[in-house]
């Protein structure tokens, strides 16, 4: 059971000294974490090992977990940093950890952005002690496609209709932070995707996220073999994949679902994951539209 510990200036300084929010890949440490020593989140929290980064990922809600699943499906994903803290003061671009070409240049921090917007910066106060609050972006996705590096910032909310004016203001200023760096920012709510797709990803993630990744060539061979099996129940399709490639059902599950998540086998994820349901395939364009991050759908917070 999580503790009811509260945020204090002392706690924020301790996190900074521990290196939270620093690093990349396996060395990254999220700013907010699912630990007994952290103040409890309002949503249902999750801990998940992602094989690609080689570390334990921390998610504070079901929505953040589903957003992470969508992010892992994007082409060219190199890293995903959850609970990423925004810089308070001016500093280098966040891509500087990945590519030397981004080391030069200085970009505004939240203090400067709030000042320019005539907005009050969040601050923690406790018994005469004070620290500026660090805003965080739920997911910061690093991608590299054809040698070009890019970032995608994603904030997750259960909805926007019930947000207070202050919450909307903070989201807009978070968006400005990333726009100043030339980074796309998306606000993801359940309204941007089909709930059936989110449920299918949750059910099939164990065959993808914590597992060693099957090579691209094998995934392509699987997709080619399955292409002629449309309309066949999933359990029979998996048996066919097992007989062709490995003979083991567990390995067939990994090969099949990793081919789907990587977009090489564009399965209609709205059909569900149940073994008795026939598979239905889509075009690559239709498959991409099922993923709000891939298609760039965002809720409006203005």
Positive or negative, the Cα torsion across 178, 179, 184, 189?
A: positive
Q: Which residues contact 10 (CB under 8 A, 6 or more apart)?
A: 126, 129
- Give the model confidence (pLDDT) of 11-41 as tens digits: 999 999 999 999 999 999 999 999 988 987 7
Number of CB atoms found within 10 A of residue 103's CB? 11
Could you give the 3-state DSSP secondary structure of residue 74? coil
278/294 Cα distance (integer angstroms): 25
pLDDT at 123 over 70: yes
- The structure tokens 């400005």 sit at 176
The per-residue pLDDT for 32 is 96
Any idea which of 50-64, 173-187, 239-253, 279-293 has the lowest mean pLDDT?
Answer: 239-253
Spatial separation of the C-alpha atoms in residues 189 and 185, rounded to whole Å: 13
Domain residue spans in the chain? 9-192, 195-291
Which CATH number, 3.90.950.10, 3.40.1350.10, 1.10.1240.10, 3.90.600.10, labels domain 9-192? Answer: 3.40.1350.10
Rounded CA-CA distance 225/210 in Å is 25
Res. 86: pLDDT tops 50: yes
| Gap between the Cα atoms of 189 and 292, Å rounded | 10
Selection from 205, 193, 162 nearest residue 301 by Cα:
162
> What is the C-alpha to C-alpha distance for residues 57 and 76, in angstroms, rounded to an integer?
19
Report the pLDDT averaged over residues 130-156: 97
Which pLDDT belongs to residue 104? Answer: 85
Whether the predicted pLDDT of 71 surpasses 70: yes
pLDDT of 3 = 46
When pLDDT is cut at 50, 70 and 90, the band that residue 4 belongs to is: low
CB within 8 Å of 254: residues ≥ 6 apart: 207, 208, 211, 214
The pTM assigned to this predicted structure is 0.95
CB 158 within 8 A of CB 63: yes
Nearest to 263 by CA among 69, 74, 65: 74
| Model confidence at 125: pLDDT above 60 | yes
Cβ(73)–Cβ(263) below 8 Å: yes
How far apart CA 18 and CA 16 sit, in angstroms, is 5
Model confidence at 274: pLDDT above 90: no
Q: Over the stretch 225-271, which tens digit does the pLDDT of each residue have? A: 999 999 999 999 999 999 999 778 999 999 999 999 999 999 999 98
The 3-state DSSP class for residue 130 equals strand
Collect all residues with Cβ–Cβ distance below 8 Å to 197 and sequence separation of at least 6: 269, 270, 290, 291
pLDDT band, very low/low/confident/very high, at 2 (cuts 50, 70, 90): very low
What is the pLDDT, as a whole number, of residue 255? 97
Strands of 64-211, DSSP E? 77-85, 123-126, 129-132, 136-145, 148-156, 184-188
Q: Determine the Cα–Cα distance for residues 44 and 62; give it in Å rounded to an integer.
A: 6
From residue 216, give the alpha-carbon distance in Å to each of 113, 219, 287: 43, 5, 18
Residue 127 has pLDDT above 90, yes or no: no
Mean pLDDT, the chain, integer: 94
Q: Which residue has the tokens 């709510």?
A: 189
pLDDT at 1: 38
The answer to whether 222 and 245 are in contact (CB under 8 A) is: yes
What value does the mean pLDDT take over residues 197-219?
96
Distance between first and last Cα of the chain: 37
Give residue 279's pLDDT. 96
């Amino acid at each position: 059971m999580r503790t009811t510990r509260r945020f204090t200036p002392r706690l924020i300084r301790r996190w900074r000294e521990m290196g939270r929010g620093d690093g990349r890949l396996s060395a990254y440490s999220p700013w907010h974490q699912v630990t007994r020593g952290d103040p409890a989140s309002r949503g249902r929290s999750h801990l998940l090992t992602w094989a690609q980064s080689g570390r334990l990922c921390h998610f504070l809600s079901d929505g953040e977990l589903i957003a992470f699943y969508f992010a892992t499906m994007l082409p060219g994903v190199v890293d995903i940093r959850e609970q990423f803290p925004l810089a308070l003061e001016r500093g280098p671009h966040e891509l500087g950890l990945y590519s030397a070409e981004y080391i030069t240049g200085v970009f505004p921090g939240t203090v400067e952005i709030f000042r320019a917007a005539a907005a009050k910066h969040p601050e923690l106060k406790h018994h005469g002690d004070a620290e500026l609050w660090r805003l965080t972006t739920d997911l910061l996705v690093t991608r590299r496609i054809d040698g070009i590096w890019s970032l995608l910032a994603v904030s997750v909310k259960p909805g926007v209709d019930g947000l207070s004016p202050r919450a909307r203001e903070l989201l807009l200023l978070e968006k400005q932070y990333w726009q100043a760096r030339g980074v796309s920012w998306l606000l993801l709510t359940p309204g941007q995707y089909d709930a059936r797709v989110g449920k299918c990803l949750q059910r099939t993630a164990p065959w993808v996220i914590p597992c060693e990744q099957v090579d691209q060539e094998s995934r392509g061979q699987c997709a080619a073999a399955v292409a002629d099996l449309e309309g066949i129940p999933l359990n029979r399709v998996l048996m066919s994949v097992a007989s062709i490639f490995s003979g083991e059902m567990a390995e067939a599950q990994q090969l099949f679902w990793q081919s789907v998540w990587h977009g090489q086998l564009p399965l209609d994820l709205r059909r569900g994951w149940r073994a008795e349901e026939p598979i239905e395939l889509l075009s690559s364009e239709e498959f991409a539209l099922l993923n709000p991050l891939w298609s760039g759908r965002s809720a409006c917070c203005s």
